Structure 1
Amino acid sequence: MKFKSILVSVMLLCLFSTAALAQVMEVGVNAGASGYMGDLNPKDPFDFSGAAFGAFVKGNLDPYWAIGIHYNHGKIKDNDATSSNPDFRSRNLNFSTPLNELSLQVDFNFFDYFAGGGTKRFSPFIFAGIGGVLFNPRATYQGQEYELKYYKTEGKDYRNYALSIPYGAGVKYRISDHWALLSQIGYRTVHTDYLDDVGDKYPLVSAYGRIDAEHPLYINLSNPSQLPHNWNPGGQRGDYRKNDTYFFLHIGISYTFTSDKCFTF
């Protein structure tokens, strides 16, 4: 809780400071798709697996620079059973998790552009920032869903929130003095390897899912493989990278509250 309180306090302070300095404030919404790279998808940076949406408030400091607070929600998932890799299929892990992200981001426009005016109606841009993300990986086995964090599938605890570093690029198009369209793709390097509940080794003692009348079979959540030779206590369960990545592809619209004072050059 302390991490989340500090992160929100810093972002609100930055936003209020920006509002005092900015000549043009901008609000917007976006929607699109989300995906992830990690232990179940180590290679494909365009493997979108769920829907996403978000909102933002920005202060445009001048035609080139803007700073703002962004909220994004998405869902990511993957399943070894559908992998083209036979080793992954035999491992037989799966997960899904919602993502709730709050971040502070800085935009840089390459052209003389801002939604309230400017000499250009169009500009490519890049962005980077810092944020935090909440997640809660779940797995489905034999029709029953399990919240994996509570089963310690690798014999250890991990937090369900982490620091994230957003970065990406996009394009903006001004359709009037107040309204603009945008499209962007952004990646997040996240300071955890457990978005997918997979990050280290098989535990020495396996974690079994709860049993009830409708699901009488034991479910080994640590190692759900049906192949006996896959039983490997202490062996590597995921890849060796220490950070997962998630990403958003967004299309959005924004409205700019222009002031009477124009930018000076």
Structure 2
Amino acid sequence: MIQQTFTKGKLYCFPFLVLLFLLTNSSVYGQSKEIGGGIASFNYTGDLIRTYDITNQTLGAHFFYVKNYERGWSGKIALAGGMIKGSDKRPIDPMAEVRSAGFKDFITEVSAQMNYDFLDYRSEKALVKFTPYLTVGVGFLLLNRADKNAEYSDVQLMIPFGGGIKYSINPLWSVNFEFSARKLFYDYIDNISEQEVTDKRNSDFQFGNWEDNDWYYFAGLSVSYTFWNINCPIPLAK
């Protein structure tokens, strides 16, 4: 499984590094830059919770750096962290009731994303001061768990995708809300998959569904500050 993760890592590291280069290279043209941060909330679906449950939200924080380009495009480097949890407290089937499993762990993620704004909400001629936007990228999840039930890497690939809304308070300050899903390529964020059942009386029963990888979700409310680029005229040669 670690070898599979390494193979996928080589595949997805390339677009991650390309996005990182575009965001950090000062020679790549950008109209403005932003820094920001705020509160975050995480959720999970997998073997313990099959469908999205808003009552399972947990709190965290996130920070980001954005470079804005022309025609509504922008790139973002984001860092987020917080608790994530799930349990069989409300069992979804008789096997879950017998299993009575649960987890609660701290996760950290880093990602590079591209955003697309549908409206030019910062223009002086804009009729509205907000815009919906879409986001997609590549990132990595860090979950350092001591009591592993199987052999897997603490660092896992994830694909963030979703959308949100931005509101411009003034030319310098903005408020953002985002909701996005995290596509994972392993089934152990809940520490449950194809591991052995410790109670031999239940050894003939499947403990988890290893055919369906886990997902987790991010929601964030943030404030950002914009640094505008001022293009000075080139002096005429004498």
Aligned residue among 139, 158, 165 for 1:164: 158
The answer for the alignment partner of 1:148 in structure 2 is: 147
Q: Are residues 169 and 118 of structure 1, via their aligned partners in 2, closer, same or farther at CA, if it must alter by over 3 Å?
A: farther
Q: Which amino acid aligns with 1:73?
A: G
Contact kept, 8 Å, 1:112 with 1:118, in 2: the verdict is no
Whole-Å separation in 1 of the counterparts to 2:222 and 2:27? 22
- How far 1:191 sits from its partner (Å)? 1.6
Matches within 5 A, 1:124-203: 124-137=132-145, 147-149=146-148, 153=149, 156-202=150-196
CA distance in 1, matches of 2:205, 2:154: 24
Matched, 1:246 2:216: yes
Equivalent-residue separation in structure 2 for 1:113 and 1:183 (angstroms): 15
- Is the 8 Å Cα contact of residues 35 and 48 (structure 1) preserved in structure 2? yes
Tell me the secondary structure at the aligned position of residue 89 of structure 2: helix
Distance in 2 of aligned mates of 1:109 and 1:46: 27
Q: CA offset at residue 64 of structure 1?
A: 0.7
Taking a change above 3 Å as real, the CA distance of residues 108 and 35 of structure 1, as seen in their structure-2 partners, is same
CA deviations over 1:140-185 (Å, ceiling 9, x no partner): xxxxxxx321xxx3xx411111000000111110000010001111
Alpha-carbon distance in 1 for matches of 2:84, 2:98: 22
Shift in Å, 1:117: 5.8
* Aligned position for 2:235: none
**Residues 104-147 of structure 1: per-residue CA shift (max 9 Å, x gap):** 00111111134x8662411011100000010134xxxxxxxxx3
Residue 57 of structure 1: how far off its partner (Å): 0.4
Assess if the C-alpha contact under 8 Å between 1:35 and 1:47 holds in 2: no
Quote the sequence identity (%): 28
CA distance in 2, matches of 1:261, 1:99: 41
Query: CA contact under 8 A between 2:19 and 2:75: conserved in structure 1?
Result: no
2:58 pairs with 1:88:
no
* CA 260–14 in structure 1, closer or farther in 2 if over 3 Å, else same: closer
Per the alignment, residue 55 of structure 1 pairs with 63
Q: Which residue of 2 aligns with 1:101?
A: 109
1:142 aligned partner = none
Aligned length: 221
Describe the shift of the 1:90–1:52 C-alpha distance in structure 2 as closer, same or farther (beyond 3 A): same
Q: TM-score, normalised by structure 2?
A: 0.82
Question: Root-mean-square deviation (CA), in Å?
Answer: 2.7
Give me the whole-angstrom Cα distance separating, in 1, the residues matched to 2:27 and 2:159.
Answer: 23
Unpaired runs of at least 5, structure 1: 138-146, 207-222, 224-229
* TM-score, normalised by the number of residues in structure 1: 0.74
Q: Which runs of 5+ in 2 are unaligned?
A: 1-5, 233-238
Name the counterpart of 2:77. 69
Change (3 A) 1:85 1:234: closer
Pair 52,241 (structure 1): closer, same or farther in 2 beyond 3 Å: farther
Query: Structure 1 residues 118, 180: closer, same or farther in 2, change over 3 A?
Result: farther
Task: Name the aligned partner's letter for residue 184 of structure 1.
Answer: E
Post-superposition Cα deviations, 1:42-94, rounded to whole Å, max 9, x if no partner, equal: 12254533102100001000251100101111211112134354431221111
Corresponding position: 1:79 with 2:87: yes
Contact 1:18/1:59 (8 A) holds in 2: no
Superposition deviation, residue 19 in structure 1: 6.6
* Structure-2 change in CA distance of 1:183 and 1:68 (3 Å): same
User: Does the 8 Å CA contact 2:159/2:182 hold for their aligned counterparts?
Assistant: yes
